[in-house]
Amino acid sequence: MTVGRPEEVPAAVGRRRRLLRLAGPDGIVAGIALDHRDSLRVAVERRGLGELADDELRALKLRLARALAPAATAIMLDAELGGAALAAGVVPPSIGLIMPLEAQGYEAGGDERTTSLLPDFSPADAARFGADACKVLVPYRADRAATAAHQDAIVVSAARACHELGLPLVVEPVVYRRSSESEAEFGAAYPDLVLGAVERLGPLGADLLKLPFPVRDLAATSEAAAACRDLDAACRGTPWVLLGAGTDTATFVDQIRLAGEAGASGFLAGRGIWGPALARDPDAAERMAADGGRADLERCGAVARRNARPLDAPARG
């Protein structure tokens, strides 16, 4: 973590201490992402549950958080639908808290997707909730100059606002397929798109990168391992964790192992863990999350602890 003027040293030290709160005592992040809003509504509809009112979604998040947070080292929760879980005290104080800064709607941007920051929720608001870090998700195509420049500016702005308060920023670039690309074309371009996003965004103030697995097919394990090493090199010493992208647990544990062996410091997973527990009845959702979801989270955590690099460990050369 780079520091400049002497007065910046306390803020940088504070950021480092808060960042380490996202990991367990061993420095490994085994996090659960529950900050979904638009995408939660989509997941609910895909489960055939129809449209849930905001209060129903808040109750659902509260139950999922209560079931899963104790098995995690960190949790990602939003204020809009996740604030009730924080107010109810279902997240143990020992669990690191990450809160999102991006507004909804970024998934509906077509070929030129851009991020907007929430107009009514700032890093100062996150700090009042007791957050240890903020997060900004940025759909990203390094090959689209204008939109990439917009996303770069969003990250710089978010990092500045967080760092003024001594809060670390988690940056989550997500590459996406454009309408003019076939699945095959996107698959071939995917590794370079991920690397391009990391190379551009990493130096803009990220304290932790939340990254997709750098290949879309695990069949060629040696190629996947090499892609993970390239991803670690592209981070240039900034710690990184793996995002889940809704991947099933059996596949995700292999991804965690390969990413950890390359230098990742763990994972922050969401739908792949809690997706199967979605239900209209919050009691039923909590039971399923406490059973299958928690077991999957613990399994992923065990693999991360065996293979990942601690957050405070030096980068592998």
Q: Which residues in the chain show pLDDT less than 70? A: 1-9, 106-109, 219, 314-317
199, amino acid identity: E
Q: Each residue of 79-94: b (16+ CB within 10 Å) or e? A: bbbbbbbbeeebbeee
- Domain limits, the chain: 6-307
- Determine the pLDDT at residue 316: 57
Between CA 226 and CA 191 the distance in angstroms is 11
- Determine the pLDDT at residue 220: 72
Nearest to 154 by CA among 186, 109, 106: 106
Question: Which residues, other chains included, contact 144 with Cβ-Cβ below 8 Å and sequence gap of 6+?
Answer: 111, 112
Would you say 178 and 193 are in contact if contact means Cβ atoms under 8 Å apart? Answer: no
> Within 10 Å of residue 316's Cβ, how many Cβ atoms?
12
Q: How far apart are the first and last CA of the chain?
A: 17
- Determine the pLDDT at residue 218: 74
> Within 10 Å of residue 105's Cβ, how many Cβ atoms?
13
Between CA 191 and CA 175 the distance in angstroms is 10
Would you say 52 and 81 are in contact if contact means Cβ atoms under 8 Å apart? Answer: no
3-class secondary-structure state, position 268: strand
Question: Which residues, other chains included, contact 221 with Cβ-Cβ below 8 Å and sequence gap of 6+?
Answer: 258
Dig out the tokens for 24 from the structure: 């367990």
Between CA 129 and CA 278 the distance in angstroms is 26
**What is the sign, positive or negative, of the torsion defined by CA atoms of 175, 179, 183, 187?**
negative
Instruction: Quickly list DSSP for 113-167.
Output: ----B-TT--HHHHHHTT-SEEEEEEE--TT-HHHHHHHHHHHHHHHHHHHTTT-
- Determine the pLDDT at residue 254: 95
pTM to 2 decimal places:
0.93
Dig out the tokens for 152 from the structure: 């770069």
3-class secondary-structure state, position 177: coil
CATH annotation of 6-307: 3.20.20.70
Placement of tokens 């079931």 in the chain: 67
